[in-house]
Amino acid sequence: MGKKVLIADDEPNIVVSLEFLMKQRGYVVKVAGNGEDALSAVGDFGPDLILLDVMMPRMSGYDLCQKVRENPAWAGIKIIMLSAKGRDIEVTKGMAVGADAYVTKPFSTRDLIAKVQEMLGE
């Protein structure tokens, strides 16, 4: 069974593209459109990796990331932050709250896939 990837983003078209890319590589994909849905999906779905948008309704990507990192049971989950906010301060903040990588939108699909594979040890 393939590794599980949770896609948390509120932009429907971006979600479509990410879903396509992940499924194409054989990952099991679940989608959440806001931060709260994403948090519950972390528990239910048990992803190996989260593609996490920062600017989401109800709970921001930062907050979600922090919550995931607070729970030792979820320590193995890799988190790649995706954001249209590319200022240094935002990247630093993302890494500070426990993200494993920070990818600025728009991104290269090849680079993103490479990064996902690297994180999942493939």
Partner 1 sequence: MLQSWVIIPVSLAYIGVLFAIARYGDSRADQGRSIIANPYIYALSLGVYATTWTFYGSVGRAAGDGVGFLPIYLGPTLMMALWWQVMRKIIRISKTNRITSLADFISSRYGKSALIAGLVTVIAVIGVVPYIALQLKAVSQSFTILVRYPELAMSGLREPSPVVSDTAFWTALLLATFTILFGTRHLDASERHEGLVAAIAFESLVKLVAFLAVGLFVTYGIYDGLADIFSRAAAHARLANLFAPLGGAAGSYASWAWLTALSMLAIMFLPRQFQIAVVENVDENHLGKAIWLFPLYMLAMNVFVVPIAFGGVMHFPGLAVDPDAFVLTLPMGEKQEALALLVFIGGLSAATGMVIVETIALSTMVCNDLVMPVLLRMKWTRIAERENLTGLLLGIRRGAIVAVVMLGYLYFRLAGEAYALVAIGLISFAAVAQFAPATFGGIYWKGATRAGALAGLSAGFAVWLYTLLLPSFAKSGWLPIGFLEQGPFGIAILKPYALFGLEGLNDITHAMLWSGIANVGAYVVVSVLTRQDAAEQAQAARFVDVFRRAGEELDVHLWKGTASLPDLMALLGRFLGPERAQAAVADYARRRGFASPAAMPADAGLVQFAETALAGAIGGASARIMVASTVKEDVLSIDEVRSMLDEASQVIAYSHELRQKSQALMTATTELRAANERLQELDRLKDDFISTVTHELRTPLTSIRAFSEILRDNPGLDAAEREKFLGIIIQESERLTRLINQVLDLAKLESGRAEWQMQEIDPRMVIEDSIDATGQLFRARNVGLEARLPASVPPIHGDRDRLVQVLINLLSNAAKFVQPDSGRVIVALSAGPDTLRVAVTDNGPGVRAEDREIIFEKFRQAGDTMTEKPQGTGLGLPISRQIVEHFGGRLWVESAPGEGATFAFDLPRAKAPAVGPAPGG
Q: Is the dihedral of CA 55, 19, 110, 63 positive or negative?
A: positive
Q: Minimum distance between the CB of residue 16 and partner 1, rounded to whole angstroms?
A: 7
33 touches partner 1 by CB under 8 A: yes
Residue type, 120: L
Query: Structure tokens of 34?
Result: 């806001």
Rule CB under 8 A: choose which of 18, 29, 38, 42 binds partner 1. 18
Non-local CB neighbours of 22 within 8 Å, separated by 6+ positions: 5, 7, 29, 51, 116
Size of the site for partner 1 (CB under 8 A): 26
107 touches partner 1 by CB under 8 A: yes
Distance CA 53, CA 72 (A): 22
Rule CB under 8 A: choose which of 40, 71, 92, 109 binds partner 1. 109
Select the span of 44-52, 66-74, 91-99, 100-108 touching partner 1 (CB under 8 A).
100-108
117 touches partner 1 by CB under 8 A: no
Distance CA 113, CA 85 (A): 20
* Alpha carbon separation from 79 to 11, 20, 70 (Å, rounded): 18, 19, 13
- Looking at the Cβ atoms of 44 and 111, the one nearer to partner 1 is 111
63 touches partner 1 by CB under 8 A: no
Rule CB under 8 A: choose which of 17, 60, 66, 117 binds partner 1. 17
